[in-house]
Amino acid sequence: MSNGYWKDLQEKMEHWLDDALPEADVPQKSIFTAMRYSLMDGGKRIRPMLVLEFCRMCGGDAEVAAPFACAVEMIHTYSLIHDDLPCMDNSDLRRGRPSNHKVFGEASALLAGDGLLTAAFETMLSEQSIRRAGADRAARAAGILASAAGAYGMVGGQVLDLAAEGKQVSLEYLEAMDHRKTGALIIASAKMGCAVAGAEPDKLDAAERYASALGLAFQIQDDILDVTSTPEELGKTVGGDAENEKSTYVSLLGLDKAREQVALLTAQAKDALAVFGDQADALRELADSLASRAK
């Protein structure tokens, strides 16, 4: 399993995203420009990759999974746009470029976020998507994403993040927060991939265990990079956590323990893939590469 495998998949993903949210010849076309500015910005596409890979490993078709892969990236992107707004993190930079509201203004960025969140469901529940996946799988997969993205999941994690601002919080709190803020969407991606392929419950369980460990490792690695990286390497502001007096895995565990945790969780994630045999080699590689990433 080479790096080329992920690159090919990523390229396909860019085409699917481009198709799912094209520029539109409507009076309100400016909103499509704002939505696409953030959606088509060369993110890592980790969540969509999980949808596609778990679907493939469960015997499903990539064309069936594509709208669901696009949807999770739309939801992830909307959350970044809203998170960057002045009333939230007030971030000027995102993936090496000015954040959405710095380019389009606050009101348009707010609406671009709302539009992307809604577009996720438009995409999953289009006539074509329902026909390809079958209504039962489409409805259930969209339901998985809705639950993960909402007030019990990602939005709830944002709330805990806000409440923790300027405060020292416990490791337990931090894990509860990240499980919602980052973990929920990553877990949903893996489960949606299984769901659109009509997989058995043991595979959904394995997907959840893999993604849960991967998600936490990813977040800890994020915290590590915030103290060890430069804005040039990372393409975004660094040191922001310490500046905002945010508790992080690094501030709570120390850098060495945090790195140990990443290694441990990465091993757990790979173990969870046993049921998929060597079909899961790409996902094992993904776990390793995320643990060692520098951006």
> Where do contacts with a second copy occur on this chain (CB under 8 A)?
24, 26-28, 30-32, 35, 78, 82, 85, 87-88, 105-108, 110-111, 113-115, 117-119, 121-122, 125-127, 130, 134-136, 138-140, 142-143, 146-147, 149-152, 155-160, 162-163, 173, 176, 180
Q: Which of 85, 88, 91, 155 is nearest to 117 (CA)?
A: 155
Q: In angstroms, rounded to a whole number, what is the distance separating the alpha carbons of residues 249 and 173? A: 11
Q: In angstroms, rounded to a whole number, what is the distance separating the alpha carbons of residues 43 and 47? A: 10
The smaller minimum CB distance to a second copy, of residues 235 and 240, is found at: 240
Q: Which amino acid does the sequence have at 17?
A: L
Per-position DSSP letters for 69-126, written without gaps between them:
HHHHHHHHHHHHHHHHSTTTT--SEETTEE-HHHHH-HHHHHHHHHHHHHHHHHHHTS
The smaller minimum CB distance to a second copy, of residues 35 and 250, is found at: 35
Q: In angstroms, rounded to a whole number, what is the distance separating the alpha carbons of residues 222 and 228? A: 10
Least distance from a second copy to the Cβ atom of residue 233, Å: 29
The smaller minimum CB distance to a second copy, of residues 10 and 126, is found at: 126
The smaller minimum CB distance to a second copy, of residues 9 and 34, is found at: 34
Least distance from a second copy to the Cβ atom of residue 72, Å: 13
Per-position DSSP letters for 175-192, written without gaps between them:
HHHHIIIIIHHHHHHHHH
- In this structure, is the dihedral angle defined by the CA atoms of residues 265, 44, 224 and 2, taken in order, positive or negative? positive
Least distance from a second copy to the Cβ atom of residue 32, Å: 6
Q: Which of 14, 128, 148, 6 is nearest to 75 (CA)?
A: 148
Least distance from a second copy to the Cβ atom of residue 288, Å: 32
Q: In angstroms, rounded to a whole number, what is the distance separating the alpha carbons of residues 271 and 220? A: 19
Least distance from a second copy to the Cβ atom of residue 131, Å: 10
The smaller minimum CB distance to a second copy, of residues 66 and 286, is found at: 66
The smaller minimum CB distance to a second copy, of residues 245 and 260, is found at: 245
Q: In angstroms, rounded to a whole number, what is the distance separating the alpha carbons of residues 67 and 293? A: 28
Least distance from a second copy to the Cβ atom of residue 208, Å: 17
The smaller minimum CB distance to a second copy, of residues 134 and 239, is found at: 134
Least distance from a second copy to the Cβ atom of residue 157, Å: 8
Per-position DSSP letters for 198-223, written without gaps between them:
T--HHHHHHHHHHHHHHHHHHHHHHH
